[in-house]
Structure 1
Amino acid sequence: MNARLIAFLLLWPVAALGQGFAGLGTDATGFAIPAPDPVFDFPADHGPHPDYRIEWWYVTANLAGPDGTDYGVQWTLFRSALAPGEGEGWISPQVWFAHAAVTTPGAHHVAERFARGGIGQAGVTAQPFDAWIDDWQMTGETLDKVTLTASGTEFRYDLRLAAQGPLVFHGDRGFSVKSAEGQASYYYSQPFYRVEGVLDLPDGPVPVTGEAWLDREYSSQPLSSTQSGWDWFSLSFDTGDKLMGFRLRQTDGSAYTSATWIGADGATQAYGDGALTAEPLQDAEVAGREIPVTWRVRLPDRDIDVTVEALNPEAWMAVSIPYWEGPVRVGGSHAGRGYLEMTGYE
């Protein structure tokens, strides 16, 4: 165990670490709580919100090389607060960590970074936009046009992202409810990035093109205490339409669902609990766990009935709090591709 990981474990809230993703349902006393009818202020809200306990800047990309080989890329910067507020130097209560990955049909490369806030090692500025941890960076004059870089022992990528559509707000104008008890987050996305760049892999550099999806979310108690994890889908159809949907698993075996239909023109429609169904069809043994890697996803109001299948079932994020994250292929009523994230599988 390296020194940076030891420091992270000492700094991470004990309840959250002990419960994994279920720790996101622990008490949020003292932190700001998302409320209905949010009023966003851009570009300021692209930056950090230190009075909220947890926040992320989350990019996933579906890419292809010159020979048609499919690739997936993930870049995520997390901010987690030990207490509300900023603070200078080592007294800052803000902890930063990041995950990066490249997925191919036959391999999954993962890296992780940690930092303490207040010392310049990691952070986000809203204008010009810059999100960084060490030499991993997402940066540009605005969020509409950014470069994305990260590296691990077996990969590096340098990508250019350009938005081709508007921001999208989930739930009720960005107020995204996560449970019957009312836990919620502020949640918006930029799902219309076009991408070009280079992946450096063990076999050499690969020029790639494709599309990317940025998720921005912040909250202080995004899960209920009776929820253990989630299954999240971001699907881009060949028609240009898109679907975001998630299933939050309850400890009694039931689930709470939510979805956003995103038209090719950027128009949206939100769907509350029960409108979307996500049914596991096939499991694979991954990292000693049974993980559902093929799904049936339905949204009857939009005549969606699709099979979602992992490009690489072994896309396990072997990080401090592990989870599954990887590119998927979509068939059935609609064809396309996307990303699937599954947390809380012990």
Structure 2
Amino acid sequence: MNARIVAALLLLPMAAQSQGFAGLGTEAQDFARPVPERALEFPADHGPHPDYRIEWWYLTANMTGPDGTSYGLQWTLFRSALAPRDGEGWETPQLWMGHAAVTTPEAHHVAERLARGGVGQAGVQADPFLAWIDNWAMEGPDFDNLRLTASGSDFAYDVELRAAGPLVRHGQDGYSVKSAAGQASYYYSQPFFELSGTLTLPAGDVPVTGAAWLDREWSSQPLAEDQQGWDWFSLSFDSGDKLMGFVLRGSTDYTSATLIAADGQATALADGEFAANPLEWHNVAERQVPTTWQVSLPAEGVDVTVTALNPDAWMQTSVPYWEGPVTVTGSHNGVGYLEMTGYD
């Protein structure tokens, strides 16, 4: 199928409507909706949920090379549905989009893949775990032991992931509320991956080691109609503790966060307890985007400055956004990742 046609089909359920960023605030008629009573089940929930409209497998990593240079890595597979069912061949309404990126202090390398489900070009299976689109893959005997590969015109990577801690459920045991009106998703993470492998960059191969964070989320209407974007932070402190927090921007901002202890114990923070305020803005892709932030959890003694490794980490993809590695200083030191959407 022509790539432009695939792109149009893929983006239709997300972007054809104006409500919320990428149409994620549109009414999800006939699709399943998250409910707080549903318990997450593993390994089944590592796999796809075709009766929900939107879903992703989202990995980011902070790495260093032999000379101490910092790098960032992203691998994302999105599933988007035209209808709440699965199917065979070209009859399936399931559509797929993949994003891969490597960020250095001087450069940001990006690639995108688009696919139709049902014809073997892309998909996910839970056990043994396999997520793929074209020749990009995240695969392993289980969710704790994975190999990750992707490539673009000017980069590639091949890394191994080993989980050194438990899965973390966000919100109410994985039921994550996104607005005062009650929009929600199912959301859990594996924030304890240890990483080793190789980046292939224009100057040659770079062996890297580091840590990775994998997010899993699915819903059918995760945003309210007035929410035009979000700022999402995954921060790993030198103490071993971690913090996930986001601000959903709308007529009234909505926040949520999870403070994760080094042993994996998670504390959910309600709307208003997490704060993220821009300190410096940067012009990228003809947009003004905040790339230095003050992030705080006053009740937990967290007050940090979050700074982009490379302010030009713009994802010029079918749905454009900013995504890149950050450094953390202040009450806690560390590294992490920042995603920002809806900056037009």
TM-score scaled to structure 2, two decimals? 0.98
Letter in 2 for 1:257: T
Letter in 2 for 1:7: V
In 2: Cα distance, 1:278 partner to 1:22 partner = 22
Aligned to 1:128: 128
In 1: Cα distance, 2:213 partner to 2:273 partner = 23
The 5-angstrom pairing of residues 149-164 of structure 1 reads 149-164=149-164
1:48 is aligned to 2:45:
no
Q: Report SS of the residue matched to 1:166.
A: coil
Letter in 1 for 2:33: I
Q: Report SS of the residue matched to 1:118.
A: coil
Report Cα offsets for 1:222-256 as digits up to 9, x if no partner: 00001001000000000000000000000x3x310
Could you tell me how far 1:41 is from its partner in structure 2?
1.5
User: Do 1:102 and 1:109's aligned partners in 2 also have CA atoms closer than 8 Å?
Assistant: yes
Correspondent of 2:255 among 234, 254, 257: 257
Q: Report SS of the residue matched to 1:5.
A: helix
Letter in 1 for 2:97: F
The 5-angstrom pairing of residues 147-296 of structure 1 reads 147-250=147-250, 252=251, 254-296=252-294
Letter in 2 for 1:34: P
User: Do 1:17 and 1:321's aligned partners in 2 also have CA atoms closer than 8 Å?
Assistant: no
Could you tell me how far 1:22 is from its partner in structure 2?
4.2
In 1: Cα distance, 2:309 partner to 2:174 partner = 30
Aligned to 1:336: 334
Letter in 2 for 1:50: P
Aligned to 1:306: 304
In 1: Cα distance, 2:115 partner to 2:71 partner = 28
Letter in 2 for 1:127: D
In structure 2, do the counterparts of structure 1 residues 61 and 37 end up closer, same or farther at CA, with 3 Å as the change threshold? same
Aligned to 1:345: 343
Letter in 1 for 2:330: G
Q: Report SS of the residue matched to 1:25.
A: coil
Aligned to 1:316: 314
Letter in 1 for 2:275: T
Q: Report SS of the residue matched to 1:8.
A: helix
Letter in 1 for 2:261: G
User: Do 2:14 and 2:22's aligned partners in 1 also have CA atoms closer than 8 Å?
Assistant: no
User: Do 2:62 and 2:210's aligned partners in 1 also have CA atoms closer than 8 Å?
Assistant: yes
CA RMSD of aligned residues (A): 1.2
Letter in 2 for 1:256: Y
In 2: Cα distance, 1:326 partner to 1:344 partner = 16
The count of aligned residue pairs is 343
In 2: Cα distance, 1:59 partner to 1:15 partner = 21
Could you tell me how far 1:170 is from its partner in structure 2?
0.2
User: Do 2:321 and 2:340's aligned partners in 1 also have CA atoms closer than 8 Å?
Assistant: yes
Letter in 2 for 1:279: N
Report Cα offsets for 1:145-183 as digits up to 9, x if no partner: 000000000100000000000000000000000000000
In 2: Cα distance, 1:92 partner to 1:156 partner = 30
In 2: Cα distance, 1:235 partner to 1:216 partner = 17
In 1: Cα distance, 2:27 partner to 2:16 partner = 14
Aligned to 1:39: 39
In 1: Cα distance, 2:202 partner to 2:324 partner = 19
In 1: Cα distance, 2:164 partner to 2:332 partner = 22
Aligned to 1:5: 4
In 1: Cα distance, 2:341 partner to 2:16 partner = 14
In 2: Cα distance, 1:263 partner to 1:225 partner = 34
More deviation, 229-238/39-48: 39-48
Could you tell me how far 1:16 is from its partner in structure 2?
2.1
Segments of structure 1 that go 5 or more residues without pairing to the other structure are none
Could you tell me how far 1:5 is from its partner in structure 2?
2.9
Q: Report SS of the residue matched to 1:12.
A: helix
Could you tell me how far 1:18 is from its partner in structure 2?
5.1
Q: Report SS of the residue matched to 2:78.
A: strand
More deviation, 124-133/37-46: 37-46
Could you tell me how far 1:315 is from its partner in structure 2?
0.1
In structure 2, do the counterparts of structure 1 residues 28 and 164 end up closer, same or farther at CA, with 3 Å as the change threshold? same
Segments of structure 2 that go 5 or more residues without pairing to the other structure are none
In 1: Cα distance, 2:121 partner to 2:332 partner = 43
Q: Report SS of the residue matched to 1:90.
A: helix
Aligned to 2:72: 72
Report Cα offsets for 1:51-104 as digits up to 9, x if no partner: 000000000000000000000000000000000010111000000000000000
Q: Report SS of the residue matched to 2:288.
A: strand
Letter in 1 for 2:39: V
In 1: Cα distance, 2:72 partner to 2:25 partner = 30
Aligned to 1:139: 139
Aligned to 2:85: 85
User: Do 1:24 and 1:222's aligned partners in 2 also have CA atoms closer than 8 Å?
Assistant: yes
Percent identity of paired positions between Structure 1 and Structure 2: 66
